[in-house]
Structure 1
C-alpha cells in the first residue's frame, strides 16, 4: 500500500502533493512492473462491482517537445510499468534525489473522475566509473627544476547522480624511487584539483621519461575506478660533453682510394638534446700541417677524406687528432685519435649488417599488418674495405612484399613494396645477396625472417543482409525469436564479438539480444499494437579501435483471434428505429456496421438476424449488413419488432457480438411523401382555345422528350464503346451516367442495386490494411449504394428513437 505523501523539491523550489510513491532502480528492462495504482489508491473500494469494468486509466502526455514516455499505464487494470530503460544520469542532476512525476487520469466510461500524481523515484546504481577527460596526459619537468616544482593534471568526474556513487578518491601508482608525489586539493565547486609534485632531482641523461598512473576510485557498491596515465618528459640542460664511439680509430687505406669515399667516419654522441647535442668536428692543434694537407675533415658528418695521394717512400702510418664540440652555452668538447695505415690492394668479400627498426631476436623482425606501403623496416650497411672495383658492391633482394632501396654508397633500406595481410600469411623469409666487382667476384648473403603481427583490420560480417523472423502474438516473454550470426577472422580481442540492438527513444522494441546473437522477447507481443518491427542489430569486436557492422532485422507478429467484433451502428443497445413504408418503393431499411481490431480472416465479419424475425419479414446481407424487407409489406405487417442481430468474425475459434433494435413499422397509403394534385375541369366540353393550347403543349413536349432521349441513347452508345476499351461493364457505366443526367430509367432502385456480393466484400476486407477493419466502411460504398439508403430523421419524442422513410 502506498499512502499519499507531499514532497518538497528544494532544488526546483516547487511543492508537489503526490498520491503514490514507487521506487525502481535505473537500468531495468522496459516493461518493469512498478505497482498497482488501482489497488494502492483504494480507488475501486467505493465503486460498485458492476461498474468497475468502466474504470479506465490513461497517462497524461508531457507537453515537452522531443520528450518520450518513460512509463506506461495499463488502461483497464491501472498497473504501472516502465516504457523504456531508465537512466538516472540522463534524467536527473548530480547529488540529488532522482524522481519523475507521472500524472494518470482516471475515467468512468467517458466521465472524468480525478487525476492521480504518481512519484517514481529512480534509484541510482553505481553503473559509471570515474572518468578522466583523457586517458593519457603529458607533462614536462626540466632536469634543472628544484624539489617542490608542481605540474597540474586533470581531475576525474563520475556521471552517477548519487552522492556516494559520485564521490571520488585518488591515489598515485609509481615505481619505487621515482621522485614524484600526488597533491589533491578542493576547488570551490566541490571538484578536486590534482597536481604532480617533484620530490627529488632529475637527470635526463639517465632517464628522460617516466610513466606514472593516477587511480580515481568512487565509493559505490561495488567501487569502480579508472586510470590516468601521466607521461612525464624531462627536458635537457647542457651538462654533458660529446663522447666519441672510440678513443682511437685505426683504418687502413690504399693509396689509390677515391676522393669521394671517406677514409674514416668519426661518430661522437652528446647525451644532451636539440641544440645542445648538435656536434661539429675539427682537427685539433695537435694534428700536423703535413697530415692536414693530405686529409680533409667534414665538420658536420665527421667523415675524413683523402685529399691527395701519398708519394712513394713516405711513412705508412699517419695520426690525426679530431675535436668534437657541442653547441651549448658554454660549449663542451672531447677528442679522438685516428690512425691511418696505407696498405697494398687486396680483394675481400663484403660483409652485410642488417639493423631492424623493431626490437626482435637475431635474424627475426616483427611488423604490423597495417603498415603502409613504403614504410621503413630495416637499415642495411655493406662493408668492403677493398680498393677499386674490389670494393664496389651491388646488393639485391627478391621478394613480392619487400624491396631493397639504395641510400648511397653501400647503404640500403628495406621497405614494404606491397601490403601485407596476416590473415593470408603471417611469416615471410628473405635473403639479401651482395657481390663485389673484383676478379674473381666475391659475394655474401644475409638471411632473416619477418613476422606479421595482427591488427583489428577486418569488420565483422553477417551471414545475411536481412534477417526475417515471425512469432505469434500473446506469447509469454523470453520466447526465442531467432539467431543472427556474424564472423570476424581477427585474433584475440579483434575477433571477440558482442551484439546490441539499435533503437531510438521514440519507438519501444519488445526484444532483446544475447551475447550469442539470440533474439528473444521481453514482453508479450501484440499484433494489434504493431504487426511488424523493423530494426537493426549492431555487432562490434573488442579490438582497438573497435570495428562494427549492422544488419537489418524484420520481425512479423502474426495475428490471433483475440478481439471480438463490436457494433459501431447502432451505437446504443437497445436501439429504437421508426420506419414509415411507402408502397412501390425501395425495400432497403438501414445498414448495420461493426468493427474488429484483428486483421485478415480474423476481422472478416458476417451479419445475421438472431431473433425477432418470426414473420420472415426482414433479411440482412451477411457481408454488407444491409437490412431490407424480404417480401411485399402489407398493412398486417405494421407494428413493433424486437430484432436481435449478431455479428461474427471468421477466426478460430470465432468471436461474436450482439445488439438489439426495436423497429416500429408504419405503413403509409401514399405512394410518395408528396403527391401532385391535378385539378379536374367541371365542364364536360372542351373549349376550342384550350384544345389548341393542349395540342401545342403536347407537340412541344414530345419534341423535347424525343431529343433528350436521343442524346441519352447516343451518349450511352459512346460510353459503351469507351467502356469496352477500358475493360469496364458498359451497362453499369451507362446506368451511372444516366443517373447524373436524370434519365427516366433512374427513378427507383431495388435491393439488388445496393447489394454487394460476399466474394467482393470478403476480398475488400482481407486486402484492407491497418489494425482496425470495419465491416462496411462508409468510404468503401459505391455512390449508387449510398443513394438508396433513406436518410435518418431524428424522432421528436425520445433520444434513442429515429424515423426512417422508405422511398
Structure 2
C-alpha cells in the first residue's frame, strides 16, 4: 500500500513539473477522498517561495458550482474540502477532469489548474426493480425464452462490467446473448415442463456482479406465476361429514360448512355448491346451502320425535368448460333435548267426595306422558298439597288419586289439588293439572251454643212480647244439616214469691223462643215480687238425618223496679191489714210506751214529763215489697216543720225527744211522719203519731194497760217487762262478746282475702262460674252466694231474700240471621266470660227488719250508744276475683261463715228481745 502511494506521488510531481513547463498545473485525486487530503503543493508548484503565497494572497477563483477543493493560505497547498463523487461530477464520462483558476495578487497573475477525479468501485449493480413478475402458461414447452432487463452500474470501466447468475431451479435457467451491440440481452429459459398444481409460483433470485475489486453485486427477485388450465376436478376435503345437532337448534343455524378444492386457478377453481338430494325427501325444504361458501343452514325446525337422522348429498362443480364436479355426503344426527313438558290428563273424576269417605277411596284416575326419550322422558308425579290426597301408580303412566286422611267439611269444604309432574331433563320441565275436589256434607256436627249458660237480665213489668235475649247456636254443617231450629226444652220459675204463690210453673208459661232466629220473647209481664229467677233450657236441633241437637241453660234474672210503695206495719200482736196505718212505741224505761192505733188510724204514744233528750218515745215500722235501694226506707218528720220537742231517726224510724220535756210543752203533740223509699221515682207512705205528755205514774199505768190489752201470751215487738231487765243486761254482755269475736274473724278473713288478691301470682284464666242469682239497682249490686242466702222474717211480714249474686255473663246476640259463611267463629262466640265481681252488701230491707225487731238497747249497741250517730249503710266491698282461685275461695268461705254467724247472732238477739 505504501509503495502504491509513493508511485502516485511521483506521478503527481511529474505532472506538476510538466504543467509548469506548459503553464498549467495538473493534479489527480481518487473520488471519495476525505476532507483535508492534500491534492498537491500548489504554491511550490507555481514557483513561490515560502510565505509568499500568503503575502501575495494565493486563492481559488469561485466558479458556478461549489468547488470541492481549497487552497490553504498558510502553506499554499491544494486540499480536499468536501466529498468528491465522480459519478455526481461526471456521470459515465471518462476521464473526469475539473478545471480550476488560481489567482495570485501583487502582482496579479492567473494560473489554470486541472484536477482529475479517478473512479473507484463504490457503486453496486442496480436492477430496474427489486422484483420482476412473470406469468408463464402451464402448457409452455421447455426451451421457451423470456427476455429480462439487465442491471446497471454507475461506475465505469472494469468496475461497470457485469455478470449474471440465477438461483438454483430445475425448471429455469439464465442466458446472456453475445452480440455486437454495446448492451447485452438477457433471457429466462424453461428447462422443464411446468405444473401449476405442483408449483403454482416459482420464486428465483437473479444476481448481477461487477468487475471491481472487491466486486459488488445487485439482486432482483423473479416471481414466475404458472398460468392454469382446467385440468383438475373439485375435491371435497371429506367424503362424509358427520354432524350432530340438538333438536332445539334455531332457524338459520349453521349445520356444516363443506369445502371442495380445485387445483386449478381462476374460474377453473371457482366452485358452485348445491344439494343433490336429501333423505328423507319429504323434508327437502328443511336445509339450504350457500352456492359460493358451501354453508349448510337450517331453514326450519328439527324435531327429534319426528326424524332422528338426515342424509344430505352435496355436489361441487367448477366453472370450467366443460365443468368438472365432486361429491360428498353430510349425515346429520338429531339429539333429543328436553323440549316437551310432561302432559297430565284426568281420565276420571268422582266428586264431590263425602266427608265420611274412608281412607283409600279413589277420587280420580290420571294419565301422564312425555314425548321426550331417555331421562328427558322419565316422569315423576306427586300431589300438592301432600294431604289429604296421594297418588298411587297403577301401571306405566297411569295413577290413581286416593284419599289418605279423613275429611272434615267443616274444616275444609273444598280442596284445590294440583297434580304435579316433572321429567328428568336438565333443566327439568314440569306440568300441573289442577283438580277441584269439593267435599259433600254429612250431619256430623250438633248445634253448639256460644255459652253453656246464658245469664239474662230483664226488668220487671216488661211488656208482653218484649225481646229478652237472642240465642245463637252454630252448626258448621251446610244446607239442612246446618239449619237450626230453637225451642224451650224445660225449666221452671224460681224465687220466694213463686214458691209461696202459685208453686212450680213451667218456663214456657213465661217465655218463648223463636224457632228460626233464637230470640227469647216474654209471654207476659214479669213481676220481681212474684218471680225472681227463671232457669230453663233451650234446645237447638238441626234438620239433618238423623237430627242432632245441643242445649244451653238460660238463667233469667228479673230486676226489681220501684213499683211498690212502703207499707206501714201494724203493732205487734194485731192482725195486719192491707193499707192500714200503724205505729209501735218502744221504750227503754217504763215512762214511755205506745198504745194501740185508734180507729181513725192514728197511733197513740205516751211520754213522761221531764224525759231527757234522746229518749225513744215510739218506733214506726214499715216494709217495702221491693228490694235493694227500692226497699231502703227513710223516715222524715213532715209536721210540725218548726223545731219541736220530738225528732225521727232518718233510717231507724225511732221517734225520740229532741230536748228534755217540760211543762211548757203542750199536753199533746200530733206528728205526721212520711216513710219514703230510695227508688226512682220515690214512693212514700204517711203515719200519724199522737204523743200525750203525762206524769210518770200515769205513763206507767197507761203502759200497763197497753200490755194487758195485748194478751199475756203475746210478745210486744218493742216492749219488755221490768223484771227481765237484769237478764237482758247479762245477755247483752254475751252478745257483745260474740259480736266482737265474729267481727275479729271477719276482719281476719278480709286481710287474707286482700293478701290473696294483691299478691303477685301467675295469671289464671277465669272460666264460667256456677249458677248465680242477680239483683241490681241504681246504686250498685249486692252479691252473695246463692247457697248461703237466707230468708229473714221481719216481724209479721212476708219472708224476703235480698242477698244475691250479680253475675251477668250473657254476650250480645248476633245482629241478625247472618248468612252461613258470615257467621262468627266458635272462638269468638264461646269466649270465656269474666269472673263476676264478688262485691256483697247488706240489703236495705234487711237492715230495716233488723232495726224493727231489735230492742232499743241493742239498737243503741249497733249504733255505738243510745245517743250515738245514726247507723250508716253497712257495706263491705271486696276486690275483684283473684288469680289464685284456691286461696280466694278459702277466704270467701271464711267471710261467708263469719257473716252467717253474725246473722244467727242477730236473729237470736231479735227473737230473744221479742
TM-score bracket for this pair, using the shorter chain length? 0.3 to 0.5
Larger Rg: 2
Q: TM-score, normalised by structure 2?
A: 0.34
Q: TM-score, normalised by structure 1?
A: 0.38
**Structure that is richer in strand per residue:** 1
**Structure that is richer in helix per residue:** 2
